[in-house]
Structure 1
Amino acid sequence: MTEADTFVFDRFSASHLDDPYPLYRRARAEAPVHFADAFGVWVVTRHDDVQTVLTDVERFSSAFGIRTPLVAADGVREILATGHPEVPALLNEDPPAHTRTRALVAAAFSPRRTRQLAPRVQQLTDALIDGFADDGRADLVGRFALPLPLQVICELIGIDPADAGQVRAWTEELKTLTSFDVTPERQRAAAHQSVAFEKYLAGLVEARRADPRDDLLTDLLAAEAPEHSGWRFSTTELVSLLLTLIFGGHETTANLIGSALLLLLRDPGLAAAVAADPARADPLIEETLRADPPVQGSFRTVVADTELAGVRIPAGAQVFAVIGAANRDPAATTDPDTFDPGRERPDRHLAFGRGIHFCVGAALARLEARTAITTLVRRLPGIRLADGFHAPYLANLLHRGPIRLDAVWPRP
């Protein structure tokens, strides 16, 4: 290996949070597959290689810990051990178990169910905007992009709306737990909160066993896989699955909405065009997914010694397939660093994954983003970024989206 092969991604730090894409570009060119010692993972950056990692389930297993930090501070693993075991659940599950779980979950996110949710998503969107429309300014992440998908996923699962604020706080702690540049003390505190969240969800499962309702959790408790001798989810499996669904159904969609709004509000002409023609929101969303995806990568574990792009990766190694880098590979997209909502073939992006792990909630995420964006620009004409605003980002390899978005508009 050359020197570049060994440390390109080790340079990823808080200084790259504003714009990680130049570093990704260098990695694609100089070391498309390399080991990042700082994170303990093999980094894959070219589109075709990333797609291979996402789809080749024989060589690249999805079994990995998603609650445990890549580099855990002293005591963190012991704290997490006091909660529910981190058993595989959908996102980090391999066939045949994944096939069974996905079949039981997919019905809740079917196109028909998504269409049925559309009126409620619109109601929630309007209610949130009602809460700040007269103020003339707002943090669109804290007041809008985060609470909207959180309220939707909580209602879908069957979580009491009064608990949504606490659920949001817990998911923030889960992000902190798996972020870099976090002190050992802060990581341990986040681990305690992760355990509290697990215990809350276990209590919710038991409560629903005793009192079934018309919600997704009740459906999952009743779900049965006949081909597996009537197999049903255990409480521990449901805790892991609910964590995946809550985080995936709320955090990633919030990041998509926040990033799309940031790109939209940087261009007043584009915002006015979407307000005049709501159909223009769809290509805007797809281009946001390509150019600045809310999930920057996906982890896999190498099943046996394998070779990728001429580089040997040992069995048992963790691989980080960098979707954010793949989406800007010039081999897959013309002029990839230009944000162009009129781009042809937006389906080339990998923001929702590929293969058996393609995001089960993709249609719902698109619906929520479309409703949020079109309603906001219609109801708040003249909305723009606040003067001098600079979007901050969380120090996280996996999740990307502005953690604050200050906007202003003429008050009525």
Structure 2
Amino acid sequence: MRRAMNDISTHFNPMAPDQLHDPYPLYARMRRERPVFYSPMFDLWVVTRYADISEVEKDTARFSSVGALDARAEPHPEVRAVLAQAYPRFLSLVQSDPPDHARVRAVFGRALSAQRIAAMEPTLRETADALIDGFIRDGKADLIQRFAYALPGFIICDLLGVPRSDMEQLKRWSDDKTLLMSATAPIEQQVQSAHGFIAMERYFREQLHERRRHPREDLLTLLVPQSMGGTAPLSEQEAVCNAMDLFAAGHETTTGLIGNGLWLLLNAPEQWKAVREDPSLLPNALEEVLRMESPIRGFFRTVMADTALSGVTLPKGSRAFILYASGNRDETQFTEPDRFDIHRADAKKHLAFGKGIHFCVGAQLAKLEGRIAFEQLLRRLPGLRLRTDEAPVFRPYFMLRGFEHLPIAWDV
């Protein structure tokens, strides 16, 4: 085997074709041979074991979440010049540390209360049915493009209180934001995406000012800062950054959950049959999907003090990447971790929604969306199957694990 294949530190590249398709054999090698290693390609320390990832998540003093969404601490100078027109990017909930984190999270606790989320079920079901109505007679479709993007996209628009007709544009800007986070695209493309980021920021700033003038029963109204006459203990910059992150997080996780889940289930006929015959198995099946194929590959952290993990010292000031996708298949935590089992008793131990203070504030919404999506697909598309004449296509993003295209067919 070539040296590059033997050297984990140089072989690690989440966007390489082989790792897009099936990174898990490499992740198993990492956990066995080099559970914490430095990646010169990305200037990151990669953390692969469940216990180490959990320690990083809980130790907010030594591992800062500021910049948690960015692969590189500093963008390219041309990109930085464009972003100089924007607010600082590290003001959102997922990119904050104590004590600011508790202040910001309290706002989202009100906005995403269990009561508010439960009340969304009828709208979710109606939206799922309307989307299926648009392609059911065709007998085939791209699940991602026709359903898995739009369902959570429309729902997060409803929550924020922005028109559903804006969803496609917001999705394009959100993709720009995701591309910037990876910092691996050609510079020209990153510059173009930086302009999209600026446009998205402008959009939500204008929406917040509209809510200041005309409050509504929506999440954006709850984000209006006290300094603008609202109730949120946020600055205007924080409110805008959190609105942007909420849209991105509000559709990316569920899109991945739906696509990854259907792919796993349709490749496991006996388990698909079990869920089809007994939909009450869906909640735990979705937990197992989140473990096996987490839509979020991991997050970044900044090391605030020299810290040892698995016998390796991460130096102060360096960047770390906590690889959920590896921790979720850690042999010390899960029996037969590479086996997909919808009956797995401890599936909920997965890392897909994080741990500690950064446990995903929208986790319950994502699970509800996933359950409703599968209930409606099961009910309305008999003989649902993966197409054999067209291959699925994975999304080439550093942080995200999911499909750009997932061709499916059913009986008409």
Range class of TM-score, shorter chain: over 0.9
Equivalence for 2:86: 83
**How far apart are residue 389 of structure 1 and its match?**
3.4
**Residue among 15, 20, 37 paired with 1:17:** 20
1:306 aligns with 2:307: yes
**Residue among 154, 160, 167 paired with 2:163:** 160
TM alignment of 1:2-81, pairs within 5 A: 4=7, 6-9=9-12, 13-64=16-67, 66=69, 72-81=75-84
Aligned residues: 404
Q: Which moved more, 1:339-348 or 1:79-88?
A: 79-88
Distance 1:329 1:57, change over 3 A: same
Letter of the aligned partner of 2:310 in structure 1? A
Distance 1:92 1:112, change over 3 A: same
2:296 partner SS: coil
Distance 1:68 1:308, change over 3 A: closer
Distance 1:222 1:88, change over 3 A: closer
CA distance in 2, matches of 1:267, 1:87: 41
Equivalence for 2:212: 209
In structure 1, stretches of 5+ residues that fail to align are 225-229
Cα-to-partner distance string for 1:146-205 (whole Å, 9 max, x where unaligned): 100011111001111221111111112222223365222112111111111111111111
Letter of the aligned partner of 2:200 in structure 1? F
2:321 partner SS: strand
CA distance in 1, matches of 2:21, 2:150: 23
Is the contact made by 1:352 and 1:358 (CA closer than 8 Å) also made in structure 2?
yes
CA distance in 2, matches of 1:314, 1:51: 19
Displaced runs of 4 or more, over 4 A: 3-6, 67-71
**How far apart are residue 105 of structure 1 and its match?**
0.8
1:335 aligns with 2:348: no
**How far apart are residue 342 of structure 1 and its match?**
1.3
Cα-to-partner distance string for 1:278-324 (whole Å, 9 max, x where unaligned): 11211221111001100011111111111111111111111101000
2:405 partner SS: coil
**How far apart are residue 232 of structure 1 and its match?**
2.8
Cα-to-partner distance string for 1:203-241 (whole Å, 9 max, x where unaligned): 1111111111110111221679xxxxx873222111110
Cα-to-partner distance string for 1:246-279 (whole Å, 9 max, x where unaligned): 1111111111111001112223443343232111
Equivalence for 2:281: 280
**Residue among 131, 141, 145 paired with 1:142:** 145
**How far apart are residue 70 of structure 1 and its match?**
5.7
Q: Which moved more, 1:389-398 or 1:60-69?
A: 60-69
| Aligned-residue identity in percent | 41
CA distance in 2, matches of 1:31, 1:76: 34
**Residue among 164, 173, 180 paired with 1:170:** 173
Equivalence for 2:3: none
Distance 1:211 1:253, change over 3 A: same
TM-score (norm 2): 0.93
Equivalence for 2:361: 360
CA distance in 2, matches of 1:361, 1:11: 25
CA distance in 1, matches of 2:14, 2:244: 31
2:408 partner SS: strand
CA distance in 1, matches of 2:394, 2:196: 22
CA distance in 2, matches of 1:346, 1:325: 15
Cα-to-partner distance string for 1:45-89 (whole Å, 9 max, x where unaligned): 011001111111121111116367567444111111122222421
Is the contact made by 1:8 and 1:31 (CA closer than 8 Å) also made in structure 2?
no
Cα-to-partner distance string for 1:343-387 (whole Å, 9 max, x where unaligned): 121122111100000000101100000000111011111011112
In structure 2, stretches of 5+ residues that fail to align are 1-5
2:301 partner SS: strand
Equivalence for 1:403: 404
Q: Which moved more, 1:356-365 or 1:161-170?
A: 161-170
Equivalence for 1:227: none
Is the contact made by 2:14 and 2:398 (CA closer than 8 Å) also made in structure 1?
no
Letter of the aligned partner of 1:383 in structure 2? L
**How far apart are residue 142 of structure 1 and its match?**
0.6
Is the contact made by 1:47 and 1:329 (CA closer than 8 Å) also made in structure 2?
yes
